[in-house]
């Protein structure tokens, strides 16, 4: 008998006959196969929302452990980034299930998962980036681990201390833990929330902090990250409308990581962005909503150059990354803005000029907090260059 089930119900021993993705979109050699490892379960949960199983060839859902149970991650190769990511995601999904079932949070386990994730972040941060943006449907564990991984890459790039990194990783995993206190109708809504629901939703950072205060040995830095991850530098955030001067460095990093991750998912009335589009949105908001220097640090750490960012080349020229780069990691299409002497180019003389360069030719990305960057952006707007 063929059954359609949620991917969260997939267990070792089931036989997959179909998914909600095409074969080309999945990293499996066959479209029909028996699930034999926790790694396969984690991969299906990363890529799919629903699958179809054949109960004549494998385990039926009625034979499985209770809904939400997850397999052991013992057979995952946690020496690789992919294996570490899958193991931490499975571990955090279990943390969330325990919170839902018992209304208690084991912070020591969260702290351990954050440490494991930090160890798994390879020096090749671009590989981390690519691994985060492949899943197509959000789930709370995936979103938390994605945000934490991005925050840790950011923190490593900005030189945070070992203790600050540990707090950053734990806090980023727990950013949305307060959503567990909200009604399902709000937490899982696939429609725009009304005014009252929005006001309640905006209390989830405070709810999260309250939950952590009830747990044991949660550092003040983690409480700060969870409470302030929706605050913005211009005071437009929530729940308290704080400005940039009131926000910690780690809190701002976690906020940007969470925003970047969230933009990659579809929300009611808003389509999902690609990873590059999300990163471009964060960079371009860096002069207003976020810390411009921190956004530049993150782009530099990833080595992924989003459209619209201003860069300096090895020869001294300034250029802006084009709207449609060849790839996230290959040659880039740039529009020159100055010559090597930093003299502005005349766009009227050559309005469509572009150059192709490799990422190795970029020596730095300019923060939008940089006066030079602000002037160049103003010049580009005035002449219609961008």
Q: Is the dihedral of CA 328, 332, 336, 342 positive or negative?
A: positive
pLDDT over 60 at 305, yes or no: yes
Cis bond upstream, residue 239 (ω within 30):
yes
pLDDT over 60 at 203, yes or no: yes
Average pLDDT on 87-110 reads: 90
Least confident span in 123-137, 149-163, 226-240: 123-137
From CA 200, how far away is CA 194, in angstroms rounded? 10
Q: Which two tokens stand for residue 125?
A: 């941060």
Q: What mean pLDDT, rounded, does the chain reach? A: 84
What is the predicted pLDDT for the residue at 126? 62
What is the predicted pLDDT for the residue at 326? 42
From CA 119, how far away is CA 152, in angstroms rounded? 10
Q: Which two tokens stand for residue 295?
A: 């956004």
What is the predicted pLDDT for the residue at 188? 72
Least confident span in 111-120, 155-164, 169-178: 155-164
Average pLDDT on 341-349 reads: 83
Backbone angles phi, psi at 369, to 5 degrees: -85, -10
pLDDT over 60 at 72, yes or no: no
Burial 39-48 (b: 16+ CB within 10 A, else e): bbbbbbbbbb
Average pLDDT on 327-340 reads: 76
The residues pairing with 319 across neighbouring beta strands, listed in sequence order, are 311, 336
Query: Does 123 or 164 have the greater pLDDT score?
Result: 164
Average pLDDT on 346-354 reads: 77
Q: How confident is the model at residue 328 (pLDDT cuts 50, 70, 90)?
A: very low
What is the predicted pLDDT for the residue at 376? 85
Average pLDDT on 198-226 reads: 94
Average pLDDT on 167-191 reads: 89
Per cent of the chain over pLDDT 90 is: 34
Least confident span in 34-48, 120-134, 293-307: 120-134
pLDDT over 90 at 107, yes or no: yes
What is the predicted pLDDT for the residue at 47? 80
Q: How many CA atoms lie within 13 A of 269 on its CB side?
A: 4
What is the predicted pLDDT for the residue at 70? 43
From CA 294, how far away is CA 365, in angstroms rounded? 11
From CA 346, how far away is CA 268, in angstroms rounded? 43
From CA 313, how far away is CA 357, in angstroms rounded? 9
pTM: 0.76
H helices present in the chain, as ranges: 38-47, 81-102, 107-120, 125-132, 140-157, 162-173, 184-187, 195-201, 204-214, 220-228, 249-262, 275-284, 292-302, 371-383
Query: Does 175 or 385 have the greater pLDDT score?
Result: 175
Contacts of 85 (CB under 8 A, 6+ apart): 117, 120, 131, 132, 145, 149
Q: Which two tokens stand for residue 4?
A: 């359609």
Residue with tokens 């299906």: 44
Average pLDDT on 252-277 reads: 84
Q: What is the pLDDT of residues 108-117, one digit of tens each?
A: 999 999 999 9
What is the predicted pLDDT for the residue at 167? 97
What is the predicted pLDDT for the residue at 68? 41
From CA 245, how far away is CA 164, in angstroms rounded? 19
pLDDT over 90 at 317, yes or no: yes
What is the predicted pLDDT for the residue at 219? 96
């Amino acid at each position: 008998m063929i059954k359609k089930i949620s991917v969260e119900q997939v267990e070792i021993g089931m036989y997959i006959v179909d998914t909600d993705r095409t074969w080309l979109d999945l990293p499996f050699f066959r479209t029909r196969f028996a699930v034999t490892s926790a790694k396969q379960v984690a991969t299906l949960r990363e890529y799919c929302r629903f699958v179809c199983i054949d109960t004549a060839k494998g385990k039926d859902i009625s034979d499985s452990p209770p809904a939400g149970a997850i397999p052991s991650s013992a057979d995952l190769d946690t020496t690789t980034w992919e294996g570490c990511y899958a193991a931490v995601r499975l571990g955090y999904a279990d943390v969330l299930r325990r919170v839902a079932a018992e209304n208690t949070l084991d912070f020591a386990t969260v702290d351990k998962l954050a440490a494991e994730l930090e160890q798994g972040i390879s020096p090749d941060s671009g590989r981390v980036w690519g691994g985060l943006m492949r899943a197509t449907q959000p789930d709370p564990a995936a979103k938390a681990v994605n945000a934490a991984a991005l925050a840790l890459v950011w923190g490593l790039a900005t030189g945070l201390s070992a203790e600050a990194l540990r707090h950053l990783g734990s806090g980023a995993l727990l950013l949305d833990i307060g959503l567990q206190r909200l009604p399902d109708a709000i937490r899982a809504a696939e429609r725009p929330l009304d005014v009252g629901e929005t006001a309640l939703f905006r209390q989830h950072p405070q709810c999260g902090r309250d939950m952590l205060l009830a747990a044991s040995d949660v550092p003040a830095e983690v409480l700060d990250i969870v409470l302030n991850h929706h605050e913005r530098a211009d005071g437009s955030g929530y729940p308290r409308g704080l400005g940039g001067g009131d926000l910690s460095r780690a809190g701002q990093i976690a906020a940007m990581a969470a925003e970047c991750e969230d933009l990659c998912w579809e929300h009611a009335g808003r389509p999902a962005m690609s990873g590059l589009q999300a990163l471009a949105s964060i960079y371009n908001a860096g002069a207003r909503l976020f810390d411009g220097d921190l956004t530049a640090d993150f782009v530099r750490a990833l080595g992924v150059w989003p459209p619209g960012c201003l860069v300096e080349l090895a020869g001294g020229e300034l250029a802006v990354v084009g709207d449609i780069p060849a790839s996230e990691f290959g040659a880039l299409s740039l529009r020159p803005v100055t010559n090597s002497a930093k003299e502005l180019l005349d766009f009227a003389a050559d309005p469509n000029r572009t150059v192709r360069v490799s990422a190795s030719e970029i020596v730095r990305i300019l923060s939008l907090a940089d006066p030079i960057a602000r002037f160049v952006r103003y010049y580009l707007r005035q002449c219609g260059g961008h």
